[in-house]
Amino acid sequence: MPRFRLDIEYDGGPYAGWQRQAGQHSVQAAIEQALEKFCGEAVTLRGAGRTDAGVHATGQVAHIDLMKDWRPDTVRDAVNAHLQQAGERVAVLAASVVTEDFDARFSARARHYVYRIANRRAPPALDKGKVWWVPKRLDAEAMDAAAKQLLGRHDFTTFRSAQCQANSPLRTLDRLDVMRSGDTIEVFASARSFLHNQVRSMVGSLKKVGEGAWTSADLKAALDARDRAACGQVAPPDGLFLVSVNY
Amino acid sequence: MPRFRLDIEYDGGPYAGWQRQAGQHSVQAAIEQALEKFCGEAVTLRGAGRTDAGVHATGQVAHIDLMKDWRPDTVRDAVNAHLQQAGERVAVLAASVVTEDFDARFSARARHYVYRIANRRAPPALDKGKVWWVPKRLDAEAMDAAAKQLLGRHDFTTFRSAQCQANSPLRTLDRLDVMRSGDTIEVFASARSFLHNQVRSMVGSLKKVGEGAWTSADLKAALDARDRAACGQVAPPDGLFLVSVNY
């Protein structure tokens, strides 16, 4: 059974998240249904990142085992045709054949996210649902400086959802950069893996620094507290994009 | 009566175009209704560019006369609040007081549009409705070279809608650049004014050059024909954005 890697883009808005759930429509289910229509097999897709409801992706990665040696481009085009027909907001950017030891979830060495904030008085008209609207002016440089305290290996309990199923709250954060470009602020976060809601929890807390409600030291104290109650705010899913995964 | 200039962003998808029309919902009507809720006056907004159904704007400009000397920021915030409440995909980016001789339409010295093409095999999932999906690989350099033949003052009858109400088909095109960045091709078009459907007609014809169906000389011949039937194709509204207006 050949194994295929799929690189996937989606608008998370209409979905209950990546993961298949009874009674709800997920990105995973949308692609599995399209695959089944294409090849007649009931298949299970495994994704690199289980993004939450409303979170988007420009570079989600998943793998799948099929019965036949399909040409990868045929898989991509056929699945996209079925996704389009079903009105899904999901597209397969690329399909490729990988070896059996490739596992989209467990082979991932780094996951890269970007979180976008529209920092302006006017609400977003064109990017509605794809950005967090923060009308109050944020100090992006202060956010960036404070963010550096979260780099490295830490117990991220403060920035972890109560529903997080990971065995350990320890994670190694490799990148957390905050950059302003006009009215847009982007937060770039990279790690081998993240805890549930970790990026949104960090961004929500950084926003407190940006608006002056928290000092840089307050952010460090929140991390050190190792207490979910110390988290500043969980940023909404709208602004979050899974950008790429390294293997 | 003080005159206000409004800088406006909108997602053209849900609208029948900029201009108010009986029985249809337009961007102009959406803003006029929000203004009326705010100040109680029945007002008429005049825009710089009468964009078609489905065409977007990041920098439309309009003017309006109000009875009261409102603070411009109050106008912006109040109109946005009413637009949000009505679920409109329109936002006022800025409001400012202008002199009585400022006319958003007739004082405009230059209008700048960008047209975005997603040139890839996979359909757009995140940018659906905001880009023209062209799966076949286009030669952006050939498109850019051919585009230069349209610069300057010409009779643009070929690239003009049969419904165009302008007195003359003569226009002076100041910029027509085609640039590729990864899978995205952007066409930048600038002129003092454009004929109805001119940008979309030029982009549709340039696409024929990009896919190799037309040579550069074919594009020139189409221009010289001064005949609507010689136009290659009218690109869909999805990819078109009114970016800015100079005064």
Residue B105 forms part of a structural domain: no
Encode pLDDT of B73-112 as tens digits: 999 999 999 999 999 999 999 999 999 999 999 999 999 9
| Yes or no, beta carbons of B122 and A90 under 8 Å apart | no
Same domain, A156 and A234: yes
CA A4-A91-A242 angle, to 5 degrees, is: 85
Question: In whole angstroms, what is the distance from residue A168 CA to residue B146 CA?
Answer: 59
Q: Identify the CATH number of the domain in which residue A55 sits.
A: 3.30.70.580
pLDDT at A162: 86
Same domain, B54 and B155: no
Tokens, residue B14: 């849900």
User: Does the pLDDT value for residue A232 go beyond 90?
Assistant: no
Nearest-by-CA chain B residue for A183: B93
Distances, alpha carbon B41 to alpha carbons B45, B51, B85, B92, in Å: 12, 25, 19, 18
Residue A178 forms part of a structural domain: yes
Q: How far is A122 from chain B (nearest CA, A)?
A: 5
Q: Which domain, by its residues, includes B85?
A: 3-98
Question: In whole angstroms, what is the distance from residue A232 CA to residue A192 CA?
Answer: 24
Same domain, A67 and A180: no
pLDDT at B1: 84
Q: Which of these three, B63, B98, B133, is where a domain ends?
A: B98
Altogether, the residues listed in chain B come to a count of 247
pLDDT at A164: 86
The number of distinct structural domains making up chain A is: 2
Distances, alpha carbon B76 to alpha carbons A92, A130, B27, B72, B88, in Å: 41, 22, 16, 6, 15
pLDDT at B211: 97
pLDDT at B61: 98
Strand partners, A190: A112, A175
Which residues of A lie inside 8 Å of B (Cβ-Cβ)? Answer: 9-11, 56, 58, 73, 76-77, 80, 83-84, 88-94, 120-126, 128, 130
Q: Which of these three, A98, A125, A160, is where a domain ends?
A: A98
Amino acid at A86: A
pLDDT at A4: 98
Same domain, B120 and B206: yes
Q: How far is B211 from chain A (nearest CA, A)?
A: 20
Same domain, A114 and A94: no
pLDDT at B181: 97
Question: In whole angstroms, what is the distance from residue A206 CA to residue A191 CA?
Answer: 18
| Yes or no, beta carbons of A92 and B122 under 8 Å apart | yes
Residue B216 forms part of a structural domain: yes
Same domain, B126 and B42: no
Residue A105 forms part of a structural domain: no
Helical segments of A100-152, H only:
140-147
Same domain, A123 and A232: yes
Q: A10 to chain B: which residues are within 8 Å by CB? A: 125-126
Dihedral angle sign, alpha carbons of residues A193, A153, A221, A230: positive
Instruction: Provide the mean pLDDT of chain B.
Output: 96
Neighbours of A134 (CB within 10 A): 17
Nearest-by-CA chain B residue for A95: B122
B113 among the known binding-site residues? Answer: yes
Q: Contacts by B194-197 with C-beta closer than 8 Å and gap 24+?
A: B194/B49, B194/B111, B194/B113, B195/B156, B195/B159, B195/B160, B195/B161, B195/B164, B195/B166, B195/B169, B195/B171, B196/B160, B196/B161, B196/B163, B196/B164, B196/B165, B196/B166, B197/B52, B197/B159, B197/B160, B197/B161, B197/B164, B197/B234
pLDDT at B146: 98
Q: Identify the CATH number of the domain in which residue A178 sits.
A: 3.30.70.660
Same domain, B49 and B131: no
Q: Which of these three, B43, B65, B98, is where a domain ends?
A: B98
| Yes or no, beta carbons of A122 and B76 under 8 Å apart | yes
Encode pLDDT of A65-121 as tens digits: 999 999 999 999 999 999 999 999 999 999 999 999 999 999 999 999 999 999 999
Tokens, residue A196: 């549930």
Encode pLDDT of A18-54 as tens digits: 999 999 999 999 999 999 999 998 999 999 999 999 9
| Yes or no, beta carbons of A121 and B77 under 8 Å apart | yes
Same domain, B64 and B186: no
pLDDT at B219: 97
pLDDT at A165: 87
**Complex ipTM over 0.85:** yes
Residue B103 forms part of a structural domain: no
Q: How far is A194 from chain B (nearest CA, A)?
A: 23
User: Does the pLDDT value for residue A209 go beyond 90?
Assistant: yes
Instruction: Provide the mean pLDDT of chain A.
Output: 96
Question: In whole angstroms, what is the distance from residue A209 CA to residue A187 CA?
Answer: 13
Same domain, A87 and A122: no
Residues belonging to the binding site of A for substrate are 113
**Residue among B76, B121, B125 whose CB faces A121 most closely:** B76
pLDDT at A163: 86
Assign A56 a pLDDT band (cuts: 50, 70, 90): very high
Residues 6+ apart with CB under 8 A from B46: B62, B63, B64, B103, B104, B105
Encode pLDDT of B50-73 as tens digits: 999 999 999 999 999 999 999 999
Same domain, A129 and A219: yes
Question: In whole angstroms, what is the distance from residue B134 CA to residue B117 CA?
Answer: 7
Residue B82 forms part of a structural domain: yes
Tokens, residue B187: 């066409």
| Yes or no, beta carbons of B91 and A58 under 8 Å apart | no
CA A169-A175-A179 angle, to 5 degrees, is: 125
Residues of chain B with pLDDT under 50: none
